[in-house]
Each structure stands twice: as C-alpha cells, then as structure tokens.
Structure 1
Amino acid sequence: MRKHICLKAVLIALAAMLIAGCSKNNDKTLILWTDNVEFASYVELFNASQDEVKIATVYKTELVDALDNLKGMRKPDILAGSYLACGMQKKYFASLDKVFSDEGLHEEYFYSDLLKAGKSGKTQYLLPVSFNLGTFVCDISNKEIIDQDSTLVTFDQLKTYSKSFNSQTKDNIYTKMGFAPQWNSDFLYMVLVANNVTFNIEKDTLKYNIPLIEKCYDFLIEWTNTINTSSNDERDFAFKYLYTPFNKQVLQQKSLFAYTSSNKLLSLSEDQIDKVDFYWFCHENQSPVLEDMVMMGIYKNTNNKSKAMKFISWFMNEKSQEAMIDRRISMNLDTNTFGIAGGFSSLIDVNEHVLPVYYKCLLAKIPASTLPKAPQSYPSTWPVIKKEIITPYLRNAVNGNKDTQGFASSYTDWINQNKED
C-alpha cells in the first residue's frame, strides 16, 4: 500500500512539472488521465521510443467524474482506467474506428467480447486494455482431487469436490471443509454475475430483476445446506481456520479451495505460487471478467486525435507490451501488480506468447480466446455500492433471510446520505 501511495504522489508531482514545462508547446504534449499507476511507466517508455509525440501522465481517482469538472483545467487527450465504459461513450469519447483502418490494428487481435464492451452501436469508442478473472486456488498436493485435464472449475465441480473433501468428527464438527460461498464476498457477488443479474441506476434508483435474485438466493441456500450442513457450520469453520491470506488458507489442508482474483494470485512471489495450483472460475463455458476491467479511449474534445491514435496503436502492440513487462521486471519496478495494467492483456497474443515467459505458472493456463465474458458497465462508485449494499444482503440470504427489496431501499438511503455529506 505504501508503494502505491508513493507512486501516486510521484506521478502527480511529475505530471505537474511536465504540464508546466510544456505549457508553451501544448500542441505537441498530450495529457493522459489515468487511475492506474502503471501507465506512468508505459508513458515514459513511449516517450523514449520516439520524438513525434510526448505525453504527460495525470493521476485521477475518478476519471468520468473529473470530466464533468473541467472548468479551469487542461483537458485530457487520452483516458485509461477502470469503469470507463459506463454508458457514456458517445458523450466523452471520440471514435476509434480509424485505429483499425489507419493504424494497423485488427479486431481479431482482441478478445471479442471485451472489444464489444467498448462499442456503442457499430462505433468503437473504447479499447480494452486488461482484465482479471475469478480464480480458485488449492494446495498443490490436493490437485489430484480435481480434474487434471481442465484449467477451469464450475459451480457443480466446486460442490462435488468440496463435499468429497469435507470431514467431520463423531459430533458432526467439521475438521475439513472444501469451500463455502459465504467465505468470500466477491464470490457471493460472482454468483449473481454468473446468473446474469444486472443492476441499473436510474435517477438515484437501483433497479434489478427480482426473480433472478431470488433464484440466486435459493442456489446459495441449497449449496450451504446440502454441502456444508448449515451457514452456522460454515461460519464456525471460517472463524477457526480461515484467518490467513487466501494462499495460506489452503496450505493448512483444512479447506480445499480459496477464492481470489487472477491479479491477486499472480502478484504473489514465485515461491508462493509454486505451492498452489489454480483454476479459472467458469459458468456456461465462459468466465465473467471482473468489473474493474481497464479500458482506454480518446477524449472527444481533444485537438490531438491523430497523435493520440499514435499512442494507442503503439500501446496495443505485442512488442510494446512485452517491453512494458520486461522494463518493470528488469528495473525492479515492484508495484505488486501483474501483467499489463494489473491484469491479463486484452491482446490474445500477448497472453499466449509473452506472459508465460515472465510468469511460468501460466504455461498451459492461459484463458482461451472465447472464455472471457465482458462485465456489465458500472460507475466508479460501484466497489463501494457492492461492499456496503449488495454484499450484506447476500450474506443474509445464506442465513435464510431472502430480502430482495433491500438492495433498492439501502441504495436510496446511501444516496441520500451522500447528498447530505
């Protein structure tokens, strides 16, 4: 955390110096807004690679909100970060169609479903940069329990493997428990995502499909009752044994699986990863991409569209991305991140040919081109909404309290409280 804070401070300071230094030459220096600290290194690499276009990086925590408050500020030319595809492509971003016709990129370079997420109608406004997947980790000594021919694990497999791993005393006290959904809030939410539950915000109102929510509630309750006896048993077990980081939980041999994200797993040291095996969560032949997928676009009102295109075409190149990864590792730029901008690259070839060179554990584990399923578009406040509003009701549902109206009322209260603040 301290490294990230320091990097952000340095990035902001450097951006201020760069912008001040090039105020007399604004046509040549582009401004890139980002909420991802990795882009400072990428921009530095780009600037050193050529003399035609120079870029200054500005760190912004909420990119879309910042666009609504540009008065008195230098407008950005390029934006790169999470939660950009929030239904505002036409309002904020220029068309990127020329990047395919004039800059040598091809749509087949990208994961098709992720590329579609940056479109509005037939126009490409945003390009995917990186993504992460839900990931299940197990102790490497337990991998024989699991299907060895697959890099994926489904709901049904999780339940089957977990039940076979479970062990109880004569007094029905669990000494081993494979996995319980309520152990991880992100996985509870993933149950909704996998079952196509979507949330829409309209005029400060949270809307969703109640029958689908009820279906997910019943699914979670059935899982708990048939695999792990009761929600109390799951909580008691977690209290006794699951108080360590996800990778250490499975090394205790008390639980079979721990759920995490691909970036958290692949940010571990090589020694730590060597002790575990891992599987991408899959449902109906696809793996839902986590909602903070990083995307990049050109600001609609910039006067430097052609120069911004140069950066994007450079960035979306296998050799460029290999140089980005190599630079971070060779210079020991340890920011506790994985891959490109903290995730798998949106470029299929980078994942298949480059990442396994630097991350040996990914050999034969790279997600298939058809596997990633793009997330629904959400605003930058979604992580807070998910944590404070969605998750508590999911946890209550596992205990049998199936309140489907609570999401909406809690969101209204949250909105009103934030307005008062």
Structure 2
Amino acid sequence: MQKVFWRMAALLCVLVYCIACKNAEDSIAVVWTDRTDFITYCEAFNSAQPRYKITMSYKQNPADALMNTQNPPDLVVGPWLRGDAALVKFVTIDNLLSEKNINPDSFYPLLRELGNVNGKQYLLPVSFNLPAIIFSASQQNLPKTNFTLSLEEMQELSAAYNKKSGTDYTRMGFSPRWDTNFLYVTAQGMNAAFEETKNLFSWNDKALQDIIAYTRTWSETVNTNAAAEDEFQFRYLYDPPYTLVTDGRCLFWYLSSDELFSLNQERLKSIDYRWMSYNGKTPVQDTIIYAGICKKAKNKAAAEAFLCWFFNEESQKQMLSRSQTDNMIAPSFGLAGGFSALRNVTENIFPVYYPLLLKHLPQTDDFAAPYSLPHNWEQLKKEIIFPYLREQTGTLNTDDQPLPLNRRIADWYKKSH
C-alpha cells in the first residue's frame, strides 16, 4: 500500500511539473520584426508584469519571412503586412478593441481602417512617417503656410533662388530628380496608385506618365535641363542635407520624417521644414508599421497581453522617454522609427522630445493613405520602379527604345520566381 502511495505521489509530481512547464511555455510569446527597438519594448513589457514574457526575433522582412515558414511566431510587427498573401496569416483581433483593452478611437482613424477588412480588424498600426522638405531656418518665411509645401510653390521658389556664374549654376533651388525617393513619393502623391491585385499589381499609367512629364518640364524650364541638374549635383551635392541647405548651396532638400527627426537638436535648430502636399494631401509613406497576431500562434494570450500593454498611452510615453537615452548610442526617431499611430501620443507627447514639431504638427485631415502592396514591394520598388523613374526623367537617348514598365515587371517576376 505504501509503495502504491509513493508511486501515485511521484506520478502526481510529474504531472504537476508537466503542467507547470506547459504553463510557463504558454506564457512566452515570440515576435518577428525588423525594428530593433522592439528589444527595448519587450524588456519593458517583461518588467511591467509577472505573468507573460515576450521575446524578439529579428527578420529583415517580417512579411516575407512569414510567407516562407511552417512555424510562424505569435506576433509579427513590420511593413508590407497588408498584402493579400500576408493578411491571410493573421487572426482578427476585434475582441481586444474596447476602452478597457485597446481603445479603437485612440488611433488615427485612417491608419486603423487600413488594417480592417470587411469590418474585421486584423492589423493595428504601430508607426508611420511622412515626406518632409527641409530648408535653412533663415528661409523660414518663404513658404506660404506653416504646415505644407506644394510642388508648384517649390518650383516657383526654386526658380527665383537659382544663381549662375557664366553658364554654370553656383546654387540651384531644387530638382525632383536629385533623390529617387522624392520621385516615388511624388508618384504616390499624384495618384500613380501602385496597388497589389490578383494580377501581381496595378498602377495608373496616365498619372505616372504625367509625373514623368512634369519632372522633365521642371528640369527644362527651371534648371535648363537634366544634364545641368546632374552636373550641379556632381559638383556640389555631396554634403549632408542639412549642410547643403544651411550653406545655401540649394534651397530645398527632401527627407522622410524619420530621417529628419533623427538629427540631433543642434542641427535641427538651423533648419525648418514643411510636409509635402499634393492636391492638398500629404501621402503617408507606404512603409507603415503594423502589428498582428498569427493564426497559428502558440501563445495567443501572451501576444494579446503585449498588444494591450503596447497600445497604451502611458506605456508609449515611457518608451519614448527611454528612447532618448538610447539615442545617445544609436539615433532613431520616435516609436518604432516613426510617429505613433496613437494620435494623442504623436500630438501631445512627441513635441516634448521633438520641440520643432510644435510649429508644424502633422495635419491629420490632410493625410492620404497608401494602397495595399505585396510583401516583396521594397525589393520590387528598388529594382524596378526606382530605375524606371530615374531613366524616364533623365537625359534620354532618342535612339533607345526603353522597355515599358509592365514588361520590366513581368521579366522581373519571371527571374525571381
């Protein structure tokens, strides 16, 4: 009888141990992300409560990694999650949206709606960036408004700023061709409408050709021609952007908001900026960071707990405060590399750490949303879209017959699949 008792006791201990191990395992969630600052966020969450733990695994392209795994994580945080192939990997999180857990009204409505499909919330926006134009603080009274700058106004001011010595430019206001990122943002802003479809993706080719023609006309009417712009860029435009505008070599330069606000405060004191505006709208850059819980999550409760903690204003305030210390080592902007998708955090807490924002806070009603794009868009953009824009707006050889964009994309997909 005593032997039976001890055997039962031993079996019970093993059972309790197994249950304890299972509970410990279930309390740990794994997040895949390309944002290294999530290491700090995970540490803060783990310290804030005793029940759950979250660990981070870095993925250069989380969406792409999700497409190519049989063992998904619990959470994914990154860009390009709204594409059709990626979106089906996530569960709905409507059960988390309430004043008690995650208040849906705390988000910028436009950004939250982009993660909603057929009335069900699959993704929540984490951070976003906007296109900005910088110029010297000594030129701060040139723009007509305190918030935005249009292409038409930039063109007018740039033409007036140009200066020559003989036939050579010694200063040049601006060229849209100096930075392909600017050409791409302009394509977005002027409704080139790059978008994922069942047939790979589509775009508004008339709008795209209008943008190319507009850029070429700018070169010819404002800066003589594309060759003169290239010569000026080769001769003078090798310093950092803030130096170029403060030294007066050019009037304007393009930076995304994360690049702009990653500059230290001393450099920010010498420049001013406006948000780019196209037909009255500022395009939200297409690299919006979203978060979602995977359908095959093993530790859904821990993942949900992390999201509830993360999308809390007090949590984000503490994360921003901590990031200021970390910025001494590795400068970065804001929350997960951008403005917080929580409107109150961006509008009321960010200016405490980025005083320049007080003059020119983003105008929510002027945002224009990007279209849904495939998970490999970053690669396709850099290998196909960017070269196409550079070629079409540069000095064209009339003897050449450049491949149309649809042919380039078709050839690219054949080679990469």
TM-score (norm. length: structure 2)? 0.88
Match of 1:353, SS state, is helix
**Which has the higher mean CA deviation after the structures are superposed, 247-256 or 86-95?**
86-95
Alignment of 1:275-314 (within 5 A): 275-314=270-309
Q: CA 1:34/1:23 → structure 2, altered by over 3 Å: closer, same or farther?
A: farther
Q: CA deviation at 1:303?
A: 4.5
C-alpha distance in structure 1 between counterparts of 2:208 and 2:67, whole Å: 34
Which residue number corresponds to residue 141 of structure 1?
138
Which residue number corresponds to residue 74 of structure 2?
77
**Which has the higher mean CA deviation after the structures are superposed, 371-380 or 178-187?**
371-380
Which residue number corresponds to residue 244 of structure 2?
249
Q: CA deviation at 1:321?
A: 0.5
1:259 counterpart = 2:254: yes
Which residue number corresponds to residue 414 of structure 2?
416
Question: Is contact 1:177-1:256 (8 Å) kept?
Answer: yes
Question: Is contact 1:114-1:373 (8 Å) kept?
Answer: no
C-alpha distance in structure 2 between counterparts of 1:144 and 1:296, whole Å: 40
Q: CA deviation at 1:160?
A: 1.4
**Which has the higher mean CA deviation after the structures are superposed, 204-213 or 276-285?**
204-213
| CA deviation map 1:252-307 (0-9, x unaligned) | 21200011111011111111111111111112232111111111011122254343
Which residue number corresponds to residue 407 of structure 1?
405
C-alpha distance in structure 1 between counterparts of 2:349 and 2:252, whole Å: 28
Question: Is contact 1:328-1:334 (8 Å) kept?
Answer: no
Structure 1, unaligned runs of 5 or more:
1-21
Q: CA 1:60/1:317 → structure 2, altered by over 3 Å: closer, same or farther?
A: same
C-alpha distance in structure 2 between counterparts of 1:90 and 1:408, whole Å: 25
Which residue number corresponds to residue 53 of structure 1?
52
C-alpha distance in structure 1 between counterparts of 2:329 and 2:358, whole Å: 22
TM-score (norm. length: structure 1)? 0.87
Which residue number corresponds to residue 88 of structure 2?
91
| CA deviation map 1:98-154 (0-9, x unaligned) | 22237443333111211111111111110110011111111111223223x412111
Match of 2:76, SS state, is strand
Q: CA 1:404/1:212 → structure 2, altered by over 3 Å: closer, same or farther?
A: farther
**Which has the higher mean CA deviation after the structures are superposed, 120-129 or 137-146?**
137-146
Which residue number corresponds to residue 367 of structure 2?
372
Question: Is contact 2:28-2:302 (8 Å) kept?
Answer: no
Q: CA deviation at 1:85?
A: 1.3
1:110 counterpart = 2:118: no
C-alpha distance in structure 2 between counterparts of 1:280 and 1:32, whole Å: 33
**RMSD between aligned residues:** 2.3
| CA deviation map 1:302-345 (0-9, x unaligned) | 25434322211211111111100111223556332100000111
Q: Which structure would you say has the larger Rg? A: 2
Match of 1:267, SS state, is coil
C-alpha distance in structure 2 between counterparts of 1:61 and 1:23, whole Å: 31
1:165 counterpart = 2:161: yes
Which residue number corresponds to residue 354 of structure 1?
349
Question: Is contact 1:181-1:220 (8 Å) kept?
Answer: yes
Question: Is contact 1:318-1:347 (8 Å) kept?
Answer: yes
Runs ≥4 in structure 1, deviation > 6 angstroms?
none
Sequence identity, in percent? Answer: 33
Q: CA deviation at 1:182?
A: 0.3
C-alpha distance in structure 2 between counterparts of 1:225 and 1:201, whole Å: 34
Structure 2, unaligned runs of 5 or more:
1-20
Which residue number corresponds to residue 209 of structure 2?
214
Question: Is contact 1:94-1:299 (8 Å) kept?
Answer: yes
C-alpha distance in structure 2 between counterparts of 1:300 and 1:102, whole Å: 24
Which residue number corresponds to residue 3 of structure 1?
none
Q: How many residues get paired? A: 394
Q: CA 1:303/1:77 → structure 2, altered by over 3 Å: closer, same or farther?
A: same
1:25 counterpart = 2:21: no
Q: CA 1:205/1:96 → structure 2, altered by over 3 Å: closer, same or farther?
A: closer
Q: CA 1:153/1:339 → structure 2, altered by over 3 Å: closer, same or farther?
A: same
Question: Is contact 2:29-2:300 (8 Å) kept?
Answer: no
| CA deviation map 1:145-167 (0-9, x unaligned) | 223x4121111111111112112
Q: CA 1:331/1:182 → structure 2, altered by over 3 Å: closer, same or farther?
A: closer
Which residue number corresponds to residue 13 of structure 2?
none
1:130 counterpart = 2:127: yes
C-alpha distance in structure 1 between counterparts of 2:261 and 2:304, whole Å: 31
Alignment of 1:61-72 (within 5 A): 61-71=60-70
C-alpha distance in structure 1 between counterparts of 2:124 and 2:53, whole Å: 21
Question: Is contact 2:97-2:104 (8 Å) kept?
Answer: yes
Q: CA 1:227/1:85 → structure 2, altered by over 3 Å: closer, same or farther?
A: same
Q: CA deviation at 1:387?
A: 2.1
Q: CA deviation at 1:386?
A: 1.8
C-alpha distance in structure 1 between counterparts of 2:98 and 2:392, whole Å: 50
Match of 1:79, SS state, is strand
Q: CA deviation at 1:381?
A: 2.8
